Amino acid sequence: MSSDEQDLRRSAALGAALRTNRRTFLGGGAAGLGALALGSLSPALGGAQAPGAKAPGAKAKAKRVISLFQSGAPSQFETLDPKPGLLDQFGQELPESVRKGQRLTTMTSGQSSFPIAPSKFGATRRGESGALMGDLLTHTGAIADKLCIVRSMVTEAINHDPAMTFAQTGSQLAGRPSMGAWLSYGLGSMNEDLPTFVVMVSSSATKQPLYARLWGSGFLPTRHQGVKLRSGEDPVLYLANAPGIDRARRRAMLDDLERLNGLREDEDPERDTRVEQYELAFRMQAAVPDLTDISDEPEAVLERYGPDVRRPGTFARNCLLARRMAERDVRFVQLFHMGWDHHGNLPKDLTKCVKDTDQPSAALVQDLEERGLLDDTIVVWGGEFGRTVYSQGELTEENYGRDHHPRCFPIWLAGGGFAPGVTHGETCDHSYNVVRDPVSTHDLHATLLHQLGLDHERLTYRFQGRDFRLTDVHGELVKGILS
């Protein structure tokens, strides 16, 4: 922090006397500040129940989450659930006994033939744990022993919108808070100057849109919604001072503003809060550029994330920023990477997605570990569903595509008390159905909350007369993936 900046901050102390009621968007230093924020609402208006109730006896293993969401749904065959045995079945019809009449999207339900499409790429057992992984995942494979792979995720929806909404909010239908919003509500902020819940997006192909709802706060107060960090000059909307206004001039104007607000004779806690928000905004104006300016990163670190890290807006850059946010105690960092929806041309297009995401994902885990942050940071990687073993459209030696498949898909987790080197769950030979230890999205959410010290059955919010949960009325702790 420069000395000028120190002066500006000292000058900001002017309004400090007013800050009696910290009903803040960013929260204060203490966990559970959300409780304070909601304390004045009557029961029917929500929030009278203690938010963020801790599970009895549960101790938080993790403080933060970084979610690397692979939007569009990566194929499991080329990544985390390879089935080399299928090579012998190239082009053979998928037996009806495997499909069991499960519903298909209308993109392939009319297909007369369901030819088995083995992965074009090889697979190798990686690390001491010997996890079988697609050879495309060079870098992720190299950290296989740090990962907890779940091969048996199942979901309900078969189209992107409901499936992504389900993955983020625990419900296929719009209107529920996203997980980051629940965490902001339940745990509050750990950082004075940055949002609690930050979202960043990148893409290999922009076919599958994202929606603001995916990081929305649903029926929770809007201050819990994710703040999207953009890659341009204004990482947060309207962060940069308007033309003609430098930081000193803004400081002086805010001082005027606080003086004028302070001249009102009647008391109004809402006004005090507003003054506080202007101060937070001012601090963000310094803290966010400090976060996004990576010029202090050593060359070796940049190289680890790969060449894309030098370009803003890439997945690699976002991974590096996620690490910087973990260092600054941002509670929940949500990355979205678009482009995994490979109905056709899968070999070529998936390779591009892997190239964009493989190295930075692995670099992030290693980087966190080396800085001692991995122990209390959960990193989770995965998409909204899996893909079909059979080819959508023509199957050739060189080319094929895969339709959506909700019955099984893999993810990986690292850090935050998740068991490294463990592979959990198993799918059938065609990776069509789970044969051992299915894990639902609700189960995953319950387990993530548990690691953060929250009981998913007690993290509730009353809306329209009902106590809502991230896990609805479902969710079981998955003990097998915890260390």
Partner 1 sequence: MILALLALVPVGGDGPVDFGRDVLPILSEYCFDCHGPDAAARKGDLRLDVHDDVLFVVEPGAPEESELLARLVHENPKRLMPPPSTGKAPTAAEREVLRRWIEEGAVWAGHWSFEAVEAPLLPAMSLPSGELTGWNQDPLDLLVLHRLGEQGMSPSPPAAPATWLRRVHLDLTGLPPTLEQLDAFLSGEVTDAEVVDGLLASDARAEHRTREWLDLARYADTNGYQNDFRRDQWPWRDWVLGAFAANMPYDRFVMEQVAGDLIEGGGRDAVLATGFQRNHRTVTEAGSIDEEWRVENVADRAETSATAFLGLTVACARCHDHRYDPISQVDYYRFFGFFDQVDEKGVYSEVRGNVAPILRVPSAEQEARLDALAAQIAGLEGSLLELEQSAADRHAAFRAEGEGVAQGGGEPGEAPLLEVEGALVLDGTRANAPDLGRSVEFEQDRPFTVSLWLRPDAHGAVFSRMEDTDRYRGVDLVLLEGMRPAVHLIHDWDRNAIKVVGQEPLVQGAWHHVAVTYDGSRKAAGVSVFINGVQAGLKAEVDRLDGTLATEEPLRVGTRRYAGHLAGEVRDLRVDGRVLGSGEVLALARERASAEGGVRFFLAAFDGEAAGVRRRLARTRGDRARLERDEIPTAMVLRDREVPRETRLLRRGEYDHPEGEVLTPDVPEIFGGLPDGARRDRLGLARWLVAPTNPLTARVAVNRTWASFFGRGLVATVEDFGIRGARPEHPALLDHLAADLVASGWDLRALERRIALSATYRQTSEASAAARERDPDNGWLARGPRHRLDAEGVRDQALLASGLLVQKVGGPSVKPYQPAGLWKELAGGAGQGAYVESTGDDLFRRSLYTYRKRTVPHPQLTTFDAPGFELCTARRPSTNTPLQALALLNGPTYQEASRHLAKRMLEAEGEEARLTLGMRAVLSRGPTGGELEVLKGALGRYRREFEADSMAAVELLGVGATATSPRARTPEWAAYTMIASTLLNLDEAITQR
Tokens describing residue 169: 């909010």
Among 281, 294, 428, 477, binds partner 1 (CB under 8 A): 281
Stretch that binds partner 1, among 128-136, 245-253, 412-420, 438-446 (CB under 8 A): 245-253
146-165 residues in contact with partner 1 (CB under 8 A) are 158-161
Eight-class DSSP state of 418: B
Cα Rg of the chain, angstroms: 24
Q: Which residues of 78-100 are buried (b: 16+ CB within 10 A; e: fewer)?
A: bbbbbbeebeebeeeebeeebbe
Altogether, the residues listed in the chain come to a count of 483
Eight-class DSSP state of 398: S
Closest distance between partner 1 and the C-beta of residue 441, in Å? Answer: 17
Closest distance between partner 1 and the C-beta of residue 288, in Å? Answer: 10
Give CA torsion, residues 393, 394, 400, 403, to 10 deg. Answer: 20
Half-sphere exposure of 431 (CA within 13 A, CB side): 32
Stretch that binds partner 1, among 90-98, 179-187, 249-257, 364-372 (CB under 8 A): 249-257
Q: How far apart are CA 296 and CA 188, in angstroms?
A: 29
Enumerate residues 6+ apart whose C-beta is below 8 A from 439.
150, 152, 153, 154, 424, 425, 478, 481
87-146 residues in contact with partner 1 (CB under 8 A) are 103, 105-108
Stretch that binds partner 1, among 8-16, 80-88, 336-344, 346-354 (CB under 8 A): 336-344
- The mark string for 195-234 relative to partner 1 (x by CB under 8 A, - otherwise) is ------x-x--xxxxxxxx--x----xxx-x-xx-x-x-x
Among 88, 96, 128, 266, binds partner 1 (CB under 8 A): 266
**How far from 403 is each of 106, 165, 210, 251, CA to CA, in Å?**
10, 19, 19, 55
- The mark string for 338-367 relative to partner 1 (x by CB under 8 A, - otherwise) is x----xx-----------------------
Among 1, 13, 237, 300, binds partner 1 (CB under 8 A): 237
3-62 residues in contact with partner 1 (CB under 8 A) are 23, 25-26, 39-45, 48, 53
389-408 residues in contact with partner 1 (CB under 8 A) are 393-394, 403-404
Eight-class DSSP state of 361: H
Among 7, 268, 375, 429, binds partner 1 (CB under 8 A): 268
Q: How far apart are CA 409 and CA 77, in angstroms?
A: 9
Q: How many residues bind partner 1 (CB under 8 A)?
A: 93
Among 9, 352, 462, 474, binds partner 1 (CB under 8 A): 462
Closest distance between partner 1 and the C-beta of residue 338, in Å? Answer: 6
Closest distance between partner 1 and the C-beta of residue 360, in Å? Answer: 19
